[in-house]
Structure 1
C-alpha cells in the first residue's frame, strides 16, 4: 500500500486553477518557448492550454506569459519572471506538503496493521 496525493489551488468559488497539469504546462512552455509546443508535448489542445493559462492568470491577477505576436508561427511565448519564481515556489510547496504527509501516513499504516492483527485474533486481545 502506498499514498498518492493530488494538490491543487482553488479560487474563492472553489474552482481549480493550479495543479500538476498547469505546472507541467508551465514547465513545457519554459522549455519550448511556445504555448502551442508545450501543449503538444503534453497531448492537450492549444485551446485547452490557452484556457489553463488564462484561468491561472485570472486567478493570480498577474500575467505568467510574455506572448510574442507576429512571425510565421505566431505562437511564441516565454514565462514572465513572476511565473518562473511561481513555478519554483509551487514545486517547493508541493514537495513540502507531500513530505509532511509521510508521518501521519506511517502512523495510519501502523494502526491499520494492528487493526488487521486484532481482526485475525477475533477482535479480542
Structure 2
C-alpha cells in the first residue's frame, strides 16, 4: 500500500487552474522559450496549452508569459518575473504538502497495523468463518 497525492488549485466554481500539468508547462516554456515548443514537448496541442496559460493568468490576475511579437514563427515566449517566483513558490508549497501527507500517512499506517493486529482473524476474507 502506498500514498498518491494530487494537488490542484481551484477557482470559486471548483474548476482546476493550477496543478502539475500547468507547472510542467511553465517549466517547459522556461526551457524552450516558446509556448508552442513547450506544448509540443509535452504532447499538448497549442490551443490546450494556450488555454491552460490563459486560465492561470485569469485566476491569478497577472501575466505569467511575456509573449514575443514578430520573428519568423511569432511564437516566442518567456516567463515573467512573477511566473519565475510563482513556480518556486508553488514547488515549495507542493513539496511541503507532500512531506506533511507522508507524515500523516506514516501515522495512519502505524494505527492501521495496530488495528489489523488486534482484529479477530477468524472472520477474515481469506477463508475464515462465514
Tell whether the structures are fold-level matches, with TM greater than 0.5: yes
CA RMSD, 1 decimal: 1.3
C-alpha distance after superposition, 1:3-42 (max 9, x if no partner): 1100010111111100000000000000000000101111
**CA–CA distance in 2 between the matches of 1:109 and 1:4?**
14
**CA–CA distance in 2 between the matches of 1:87 and 1:67?**
18
Note the C-alpha offset of 1:120. 5.2
Moved over 3 A (4+): 119-123
**CA–CA distance in 1 between the matches of 2:120 and 2:72?**
70
The residue that corresponds to 1:100 in the other structure is 100
The residue that corresponds to 1:33 in the other structure is 33
**CA–CA distance in 2 between the matches of 1:118 and 1:44?**
50
| Structure 1 unmatched runs, 5+ | none
The residue that corresponds to 2:110 in the other structure is 110
The residue that corresponds to 2:127 in the other structure is none
| Greater Cα radius of gyration, structure 1 or 2 | 2
Aligned residues: 123
The residue that corresponds to 2:79 in the other structure is 79
